[in-house]
Structure 1
Amino acid sequence: MTPKARDDHEIIRRTANFHPSIWGDQFISHLPKDNKVHEALELEVEKLREQVKREVLLAAASNYSSQSLDLVDEIQRLGVAYHFETEIEEALQRIYNNHIGMEDGDLYSTALGFRLLRQHGYNVSCGN
């Protein structure tokens, strides 16, 4: 292709003259990392993360597995399960090994346990 032929196929785009936003750039700005507010928020997030980890482990260690199943389900639905992968796996392993909550006759707990265990790769039979 010659240079002239390239010019023939050049795409010409019109420019748009949009009005500036009435909001300005106030929503684009963010707190810098060295800000004390940001550090305080990071500490609070870490403290809450550790609290949830303790609760997952306590619920898993207790004999009340439907509480553990509910907590795992809620953590996954909130989209923060990646923070607690180890704790969730330990809780589900304990439930799977002990078959806790799967035979107590509560349909909700049985269905939730079945779904969560199957989602995490455990071989759970759907029959008795």
Structure 2
Amino acid sequence: MTSLAGNVNNENGIFRLEANFSPSLWGNIFSNSTRNNQISEKVIEEIEGLKEEVKHMIISTTTTSNDIEQKVHLIDTLERLGIYYHFEKEIEDQLSKMFDQNVIHEEDDLYKIALYFRLFRQHGYPISSGMFLY
């Protein structure tokens, strides 16, 4: 149960209500929790290792259209997760190679064409919407 009591600030005569709330059922476990704001070195090393693994997945040489398709899905997933900024250079290099290889003309699936189209447009490549007419 709460009770309200008034308090007048003597300096400028402002009346402010003060609440006298009952103690929380949770106590103060959240305010007293000791948070370690520093990430341990082991976790940092693990993160860096995973970043390197993803970089290798992005820059791996691909020859088949299935490999290119998987790489495009990986790039799309990284962007949707919001972690693409860790791999911006690698993504730009791969998209540039794909754009130069004209991979979008080899596709006949509307989903794949739309995915390529969106990624190329999103990264500033001049691609015509005429791709959807074929």
Structure-1-length-normalised TM-score: 0.77
3-state DSSP class of the match of 2:107? coil
Query: How far apart, in 2, do the equivalents of 1:83 and 1:113 lie?
Result: 21
Distance change (3 Å), C-alpha of 1:112 and 1:27: farther
CA deviations 1:61-81 (Å, max 9, x no partner) are: 313321111010011111111
Question: Structure 2: where are the runs of 5+ without partners?
Answer: 1-10
CA deviations 1:87-112 (Å, max 9, x no partner) are: 11111111111111443212221110
Higher Cα radius of gyration: 2
Identity, in percent, stands at 32
**Is structure 2 residue 121 aligned with structure 1 residue 122?**
no
Distance change (3 Å), C-alpha of 1:26 and 1:119: same
1:31 to 27, 30, 36: 36
CA deviations 1:36-67 (Å, max 9, x no partner) are: xx111111110000000000111xx3133211
Residue 21 of structure 1 and its aligned partner are, at CA, apart by 5.7
Q: Which residue in the other structure is 1:3 paired with?
A: none
3-state DSSP class of the match of 2:73? helix
Distance change (3 Å), C-alpha of 1:68 and 1:27: farther
Range that drifts further, 103-112 or 22-31 = 22-31
Residue 30 of structure 1 and its aligned partner are, at CA, apart by 2.5
Give the structure with the larger strand fraction.
2
3-state DSSP class of the match of 1:12? strand
**Is structure 2 residue 101 aligned with structure 1 residue 94?**
no
Q: Which residue in the other structure is 2:51 paired with?
A: 49
Residue 11 of structure 1 and its aligned partner are, at CA, apart by 5.6
Q: Which residue in the other structure is 2:74 paired with?
A: 71
Distance change (3 Å), C-alpha of 1:91 and 1:18: farther
Query: How far apart, in 2, do the equivalents of 1:122 and 1:81 lie?
Result: 18
Distance change (3 Å), C-alpha of 1:62 and 1:26: farther
The one-letter amino acid paired with 1:81 is: Y
**Is structure 2 residue 21 aligned with structure 1 residue 14?**
no
Distance change (3 Å), C-alpha of 1:62 and 1:127: same
Partners of 1:73 and 1:116 within 8 A in 2: yes
